[in-house]
């Protein structure tokens, strides 16, 4: 059965269910109507259309009148029959809007309203009006505050019908000085549209009969929002002001329902301004007298008078509530779940320092679990490691360590060392002939002579840094430089040149300082390689810290807040790692060559043996023995020729062999020390690593201002939380009402 069909059923068959109407009213009272569409009757109309007079006729109360804005806020009028009462009882209260933070809960009750005059009622209404501190002042209390709230009036008596009606402000196009502003025109119109858009609202469109109905804005809006007219009832007021000869057009409109609204029209005749000044005038009597006068006596009793309107409204509300009541219950539960999820998505409330500390400690715990799993390669413990590869800290560092070791071995030296397995003394001899002891070989910082410039351009190169730096710490990191491959030829002439430029009166040996000088020049590419490596590890650690913080917080803004407070201490940790790198470089390159590693002598002996073996092999010949076996033999006379070297050649060869043997020991030692001390201890797993800064002790050291700065909620989040908490409370109250 449609609303139209139900509205045409006799009132005796459409008695409202008092219990359900009470439930709907309670839902309105606890503000559930702000979150779901509740069934309601809404009285709408243009300003001065006669809405207040219609409400007076229904309530038998003298609503306050003035020359300005008659209705300043939405008013819910509740009629309830209470056989226990002997006389009518009137109550009033405020229903706050969902976003209203005011704590006002003004209310009143009066047991005898028969003698209530307009002045007294106006005073009582002011107590439950949205502004309880006097008239609305556009320059003081904004009308926007007023129009956003709703007053509730309850009429209880032994003969009242069960009915609820909501009266909204009348739409107006002209401002009233001291009462409304231009912004209120749009504000009121939007509020009225909000009530009318509710698909569960029955629209009671109040229109003066003495104007062209087609020009009324409220009619245009109704047709737009309810094109089929299934939930719009028209109310024609001021029929006594219709021009002579125009009555037939109004009667025809009502009788033939020319307006497409399916619920039709009801004509109501209220007291005029002159009648209101005469206390002897009774509106119901005057309305009945007007009804029997032609041509209005042609109207059906169902379409005329305040009593007919009351009966129609009761039937409409009853049918509307009956139809939508089951879905209201399910919608309240649905919105309650949505509200809880939205509130949970905001996380725990953190308004006080205690709440903020507790919140940060939980983040610290999550961060430490991620760090521990990352260092122990326990990547299966959390999905974050699959989603963010940069969290695989141990793996990232181990791979960079291996790459650094390989690069250092291949690119760390300026000249490639001589291998004696297949070379002879031709290079030494040719060098001795071409280069006199006093000749000069031009050498740059990497020991490249002028003859090797072409070779240098053709050599391969690698970048000192393999990873992109982090923008927020880029200023403390070294720039990336290209590291060229070692020159394959020229180490002996280079050593000879250095020796001849610094030798003294030594006999059969060389000054020990020459080894330090040669080592420093041969290791000229160590600093950019080491600095690039340590900067990459710093970037790995900083990226891990940033992403682990964001994941632990669940909020990038909060993670950045924490990081900004930690940044100074983090940078200090990074500087310590850089300083350790510089220290290790200085120890290895500037200090006296020194080692207790027995591999130095082992390497040195191996070097000399390889050279002798290589030289002897070239003079050897194959001999067959009596037992059938064969082997290589060398003549003793050839040995003398093989070992024939000048003092210069012998010294250069000795320097080369010692440098080669010591360089290998020093290189491995430096790589291990840099990875172990500068990287691992200072940056990754040491007791003072950067990740250890974010700890419970750090949280406890924060001041109240810092706690608020880091963990305090933004104003928009606090407002949203407050609104959701209010919504949750009201929806839970609504659910209890519906149980």
Per-residue pLDDT tens for 306-321? 999 988 888 888 888 8
How far lies 102's CA from each of 36, 99, 132, 192, 627, in Å? 22, 9, 12, 23, 116
- Which region holds residue 567: left if phi is over 0, alpha if psi is between -120 and 50, else beta? alpha
Instruction: Supply the pLDDT for residue 438.
Output: 35
Q: Which residue has the tokens 């880091």?
A: 710
Q: What is the pLDDT of residue 490?
A: 87
Residues 400 and 281 in one domain: no
Please give the tally of structural domains in the chain.
2
Q: Which distant-in-sequence residues (6+ apart) come within 8 Å of 341 by Cβ?
A: none
Cα–Cα distances in Å, from 88 out to 16, 61, 113, 280, 497?
A: 20, 11, 7, 22, 121
Task: Kindly tell me if the per-residue pLDDT of 139 is higher than 70.
Answer: no
Decide if pLDDT at 619 tops 90.
Answer: no
pLDDT, mean of residues 184-209: 88
pLDDT at 548: 96
Q: Looking at residue 522, what is its pLDDT?
A: 92
DSSP state of 473: G
429 pLDDT above the threshold of 70: no
Helix axes 306-345, 283-291, angle to 10 degrees: 120
Residue 600 phi, psi dihedral angles, 5° rounding = -60, -55
Q: What is the pLDDT of residues 642-651, one digit of tens each?
A: 555 677 877 8
- In this structure, are residues 659 and 372 in contact, taking their beta carbons and an 8 Å threshold? no
Give, for 75, the enclosing helix (H) or strand (E): strand 74-81
pLDDT for the residue 426 = 37
Q: Are residues 614 and 664 in the same domain?
A: yes
Q: Do 134 and 241 fall within a single domain? A: yes
Nearest to 36 by CA among 271, 311, 275, 334: 334
Mean pLDDT of 9-24: 63
Mean pLDDT of 476-494: 91
pLDDT at 385: 95
Looking at per-residue pLDDT, the higher value among 482 and 215 belongs to 482
What is the SS3 assignment for 507? coil
Asked if residue 719 belongs to a domain, the reply is: no
Q: Are residues 320 and 378 in the same domain?
A: no
Residues 248 and 274 in one domain: yes
Does residue 75 belong to any structural domain of this protein? yes
Tell me which of 98 and 477 has the higher pLDDT: 477
3-state class of 309 per DSSP?
helix
Is the domain of 62 the same as that of 183? yes
- Whether 179 and 246 share a structural domain: yes
Domain CATH for 105? 3.40.50.300
Residue 679 pLDDT greater than 70, yes or no: yes
Tell me the C-alpha distance between 268 and 736, whole Å.
Answer: 40
In this prediction, residue 473 has a pLDDT band, given cuts at 50, 70 and 90, of: very high
Is 352 inside a domain boundary?
no
One domain, residues 235 and 291: yes
Using a 10 angstrom Cβ sphere, with 0-12 exposed, 13-18 middle and 19 or more buried, the burial of residue 725 is: middle
Of 48-62, 116-130, 150-164, 524-538, the least confident = 116-130
pLDDT in tens, 390-422: 999 999 999 999 999 999 999 999 998 877 544
Distance CA 535, CA 468 (A): 10
User: In this structure, is residue 467 part of a structural domain?
Assistant: yes
Both 68 and 141 in one domain: the answer is yes
Contacts of 105 (CB under 8 A, 6+ apart): 93, 94
Q: Would residue 722 count as lying in a domain?
A: no
Residue 424 above 80 pLDDT?
Answer: no
Average per-residue pLDDT for the chain: 80
Higher pLDDT, 439 or 664: 664
User: Is pLDDT of 128 > 60?
Assistant: no
Give yes or no: residues 403 and 320 share one domain: no
* Same domain flag for 302 and 364: no
In this structure, is residue 353 part of a structural domain? no
- Domain holding 202, by residue range, is 3-343+732-737
77 inside domain: yes
**Residues in Cβ contact with 97 at an 8 Å cutoff, skipping those fewer than 6 apart:** 31, 34, 148, 149, 150
Residue 529 lies in a domain: yes
Q: Are residues 219 and 317 in the same domain?
A: yes
| Confidence (pLDDT) at 126 | 66
DSSP 549-576: HHHHHT-HHHHHHHHHHHHHHHHHHHHH
């Amino acid at each position: 059965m449609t609303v139209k069909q139900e509205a045409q059923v006799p009132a005796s068959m459409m008695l409202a269910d008092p219990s359900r109407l009470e439930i709907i009213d309670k839902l309105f009272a606890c503000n559930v109507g702000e979150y779901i569409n509740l069934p309601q009757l809404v009285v709408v109309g243009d300003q001065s259309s006669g809405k207040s007079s219609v409400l007076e006729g229904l309530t038998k109360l003298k609503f306050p009148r003035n020359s300005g804005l008659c209705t300043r806020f939405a008013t819910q009028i509740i009629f309830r029959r209470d056989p226990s009462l002997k006389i009518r009882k009137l109550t009033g209260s405020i229903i706050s809007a969902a976003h209203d933070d005011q704590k006002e809960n003004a209310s009143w009750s009066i047991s005898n309203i028969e003698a209530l005059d307009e002045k007294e009622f106006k005073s009582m209404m002011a107590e439950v009006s949205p502004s309880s501190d006097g008239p609305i002042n556009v320059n003081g209390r904004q009308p926007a505050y007023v129009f956003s709230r709703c007053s509730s009036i309850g009429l209880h008596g032994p003969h009242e019908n069960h009915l609820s009606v909501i009266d909204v402000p009348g739409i107006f196009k002209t401002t009233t000085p001291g009462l409304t502003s231009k912004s209120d025109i749009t504000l009121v119109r939007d509020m009225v549209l909000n009530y009318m858009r509710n698909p569960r609202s029955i629209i009671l469109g109040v229109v003066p009969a003495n104007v062209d109905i087609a020009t009324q804005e409220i009619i245009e809006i109704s047709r737009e929002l309810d094109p089929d007219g299934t939930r719009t009832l028209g109310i024609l007021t001021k029929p006594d002001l219709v021009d002579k000869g125009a009555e037939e057009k109004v009667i025809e409109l009502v009788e033939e329902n020319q307006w497409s609204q399916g619920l039709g029209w009801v004509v109501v005749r209220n007291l005029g301004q002159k009648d209101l000044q005469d206390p002897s005038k009774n509106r119901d009597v005057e309305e009945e007298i007007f009804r029997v006068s032609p041509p209005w006596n042609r109207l059906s009793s169902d379409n005329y008078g305040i009593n007919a309107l009351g009966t129609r409204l009761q039937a409409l509300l009853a049918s509307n509530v009956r139809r939508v009541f089951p879905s209201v219950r399910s919608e309240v539960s649905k919105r309650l779940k949505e509200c809880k999820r939205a509130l949970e998505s905001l996380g725990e409330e953190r308004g006080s320092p205690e709440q903020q500390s507790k919140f940060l400690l939980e983040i610290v715990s999550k961060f430490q679990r991620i760090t521990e799993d990352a260092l122990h390669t326990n990547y299966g413990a959390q999905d974050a490691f699959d989603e963010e590869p940069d969290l695989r800290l141990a793996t990232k560092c181990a791979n960079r360590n291996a790459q650094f070791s390989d690069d250092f071995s291949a690119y760390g030296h300026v000249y490639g060392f001589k291998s004696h397995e297949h070379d002879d003394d031709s290079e030494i001899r040719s060098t001795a002939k071409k280069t006199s002891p006093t000749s000069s070989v031009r050498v740059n910082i990497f020991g490249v002579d002028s003859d090797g410039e072409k070779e240098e351009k053709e050599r391969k190169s690698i970048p000192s840094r393999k990873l992109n730096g982090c923008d927020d710490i880029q200023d403390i990191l070294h720039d990336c430089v290209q590291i060229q491959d070692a020159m394959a030829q020229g180490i002996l002439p280079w050593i000879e040149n250095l020796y001849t430029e610094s030798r003294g009166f030594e006999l059969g040996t060389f000054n020990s300082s020459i080894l330090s000088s040669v080592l420093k020049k041969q290791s000229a590419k160590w600093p950019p390689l080491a600095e690039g490596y340590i900067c990459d590890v710093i970037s790995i650690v900083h990226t891990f810290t940033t992403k682990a913080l964001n994941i632990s917080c669940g909020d990038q803004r909060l993670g950045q807040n924490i990081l900004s407070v930690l940044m100074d201490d983090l940078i200090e940790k990074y500087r310590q790692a850089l300083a350790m790198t510089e220290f290790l470089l200085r120890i290895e390159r500037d200090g006296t060559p020194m080692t207790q590693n027995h591999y130095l002598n082992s390497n040195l002996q191996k070097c000399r043996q390889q050279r002798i073996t290589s030289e002897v092999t070239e003079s050897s010949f194959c001999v067959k023995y009596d037992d059938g076996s064969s082997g290589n033999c060398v003549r003793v006379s050839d040995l003398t020729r093989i070992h024939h070297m000048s003092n210069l050649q012998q010294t250069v060869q000795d320097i080369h062999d010692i440098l080669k043997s010591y360089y290998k020991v020093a290189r491995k030692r430096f790589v291990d020390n840099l990875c172990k001390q500068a990287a691992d201890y200072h940056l990754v797993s040491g007791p003072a690593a950067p990740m250890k800064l974010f700890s419970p002790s750090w949280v406890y050291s924060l001041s109240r201002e810092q706690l608020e700065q880091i963990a305090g909620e933004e104003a928009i989040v606090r407002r949203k939380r407050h609104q959701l908490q209010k919504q949750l409370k009201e929806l839970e109250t609504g659910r209890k009402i519906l149980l």
